[in-house]
């Protein structure tokens, strides 16, 4: 995956930044230990190349700052993330902004704004009825008056202490930030935007794909081997991007342990669910659509038992690599409630457990990178694994290590 593994191989490691240019109320993120030099991209173990897996700052450093804020991306890079991830939704006036969902109750203070009380409504998004406030009912100027807040305040009180400081950034602001930070740190910073709910946004006349390509073009990122990759939970829009809309940057097809892509649902296709795309036949279809990487839930790689413990490794990674696809799973989080039971530190669901230890068998399984909320711990996990290569040359040197950057 260009923006993750091969970017890491070229030294795409750290991001340190500023808050939104147009956010005078936003305070700078607190200083954090920064990774000032890129780690070694590859090493030779017993004569075999080992490529350093990439670390994606999921929604920024969303374990420490309100997600999808420029401060969160700043901290992610300072902690050593190779790539930052903005999720894209559209405004009423067609501007691409960065929110995990178009429903923004949980990530902004919109519910506390009396001037927008009448915007509360119920909509059906991807077949699910949702009630609240939606980005497509606001102009960019209106959204800019809102302030971001922590989505999981009981889980992450430190992040919640930054509520009210940061604006909702645009995708263009994130791309500009990437450029400034790459200059500041003397290395490229990767960006991996996700186009959210593409079928839904198409249905309301706010298609995002064309504007994504335009912005990547404007910022010199619409080319192979650029530090940019476009991702989606639907395959149809990725195929359209690759075949019809002029996207030259690489693409990632995201999947889940259950359910189906909404483009399949909307088309009445009962075959092409996420289970299908975890098979060899499904992965061949993904590759034929011009996709480069799969982004599965981590439980699709090593299963979760009914008691919450770690189960068996599946054939997902080996099948994907055989199909010419790289594998970058999501999302590793540090709190006990998100870990397999053997990596939990206590019965407190919000206390931090051993995320670093839990990632090790996934790296052994051959993943090419991963998404994580605390990038500093993600980097530590990769450092630990790479050190283990030196100390135990046979450990995990197989599928991906021998494959290196070949077969693409």
Give the model confidence (pLDDT) of 219-240 as tens digits.
Answer: 999 999 899 999 999 999 999 9
Whole-number pLDDT of residue 394: 56
The torsion region of residue 319 among left (phi > 0), alpha (psi -120 to 50) and beta comes to alpha
* Annotation says 58 is catalytic: yes
Q: What is the pLDDT of residues 117-174, one digit of tens each?
A: 999 999 999 999 999 999 999 999 999 999 999 999 999 999 999 999 999 999 999 9
**Dihedral angle sign, alpha carbons of residues 76, 78, 82, 83:** positive
- Per DSSP, the three-state class of 73 is helix
All structural domains of the chain, each given as residue ranges with its CATH number in brackets, are 54-102+169-391 (3.20.20.190)
Could you read off the pLDDT of 352-386 as tens digits, one per residue? 999 999 999 999 999 999 999 999 999 999 999 99
Tokens of 220: 């010199």
For the segment 99-107, the average pLDDT, to the nearest whole number, is: 97
Sign of CA dihedral 262, 98, 72, 225: positive
Is pTM beyond 0.85? Reply is: yes
Task: Given the residues 7, 68, 100, 197, select the one marked as catalytic.
Answer: 100
What is the secondary structure of 142-193 as a DSSP string?
A: HHTTS-B--S-TTT-HHHHTTTTS-PPPBHHHHHHHHHHHHHHHTS--EE--
Tell me the pLDDT tens digit for each residue of 136-150.
Answer: 999 999 999 999 999
The whole-number pLDDT of residue 86 equals 98
How far is Cα of residue 375 from the mean position of the Cα atoms in its chain?
11
On average, the pLDDT of the chain sits at 87
DSSP run (H or E) holding 173: helix 171-185
CB of 349 within 8 A of CB of 335?
Answer: yes
Is 68 an active-site residue? no
Give tens-digit pLDDT for 79-98.
Answer: 999 999 999 999 999 999 99
Residue 400 has pLDDT above 50, yes or no: no
Give how far the C-alpha of residue 133 lies from the chain's centroid of Cα atoms, to the nearest Å.
Answer: 24
Question: 58, 68, 185, 321: which is the annotated catalytic residue?
Answer: 58
Residue 335 has pLDDT above 90, yes or no: yes
């Amino acid at each position: 995956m260009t923006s993750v593994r091969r970017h890491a191989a070229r030294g795409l490691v750290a991001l340190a930044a500023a808050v939104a240019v147009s956010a005078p109320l936003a305070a700078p993120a607190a200083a954090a230990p920064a990774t000032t030099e890129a780690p070694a991209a590859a090493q030779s173990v017993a004569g075999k190349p080992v490529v350093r897996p990439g670390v994606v700052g999921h929604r920024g450093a969303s374990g420490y700052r309100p997600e999808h804020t420029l401060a969160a991306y700043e901290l992610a890079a300072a902690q050593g993330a190779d790539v930052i991830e903005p999720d894209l939704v559209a405004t009423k006036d067609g501007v691409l902004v960065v929110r995990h969902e178009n429903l923004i109750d949980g990530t902004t203070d919109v519910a506390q704004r009396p001037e927008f009380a009448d915007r509360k409504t119920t909509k059906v998004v991807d077949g699910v009825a949702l009630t609240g406030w939606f980005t497509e009912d606001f102009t960019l100027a209106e959204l800019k008056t809102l302030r971001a807040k922590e989505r999981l305040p009981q889980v992450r009180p430190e992040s919640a202490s930054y509520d009210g400081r940061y604006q909702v950034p645009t995708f263009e602001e994130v791309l500009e930030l990437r450029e400034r930070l790459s200059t500041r740190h003397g290395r490229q910073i990767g960006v991996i935007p996700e186009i959210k709910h593409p079928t839904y946004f198409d249905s309301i006349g706010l298609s995002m794909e064309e504007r994504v390509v335009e912005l990547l073009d404007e910022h010199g990122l619409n080319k192979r081997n650029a530090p940019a990759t476009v991702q989606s939970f639907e395959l149809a829009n990725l195929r359209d991007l690759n075949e019809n809309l002029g996207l030259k940057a690489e693409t990632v097809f995201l999947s889940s342990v259950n359910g189906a892509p909404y483009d399949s649902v909307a088309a009445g296709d009962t075959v092409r669910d996420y289970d299908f795309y975890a098979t060899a036949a499904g992965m061949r279809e993904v590759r034929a659509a011009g996709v480069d990487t799969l982004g599965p839930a981590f439980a699709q790689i090593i299963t979760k038992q009914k008691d919450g413990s770690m189960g068996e490794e599946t054939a997902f990674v080996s099948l994907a690599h055989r199909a010419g696809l790289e594998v970058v799973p999501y999302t590793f989080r540090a709190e006990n409630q998100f870990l397999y039971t053997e990596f939990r530190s206590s019965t407190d669901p919000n206390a931090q457990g051993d995320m670093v230890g839990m990632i090790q068998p996934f790296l052994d399984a051959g993943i090419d990178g991963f998404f994580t909320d605390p990038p500093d711990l993600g980097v530590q996990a990769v450092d630990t694994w790479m050190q283990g290569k030196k100390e135990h040359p046979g450990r995990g040197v197989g599928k991906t290590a021998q494959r290196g950057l070949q077969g693409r």
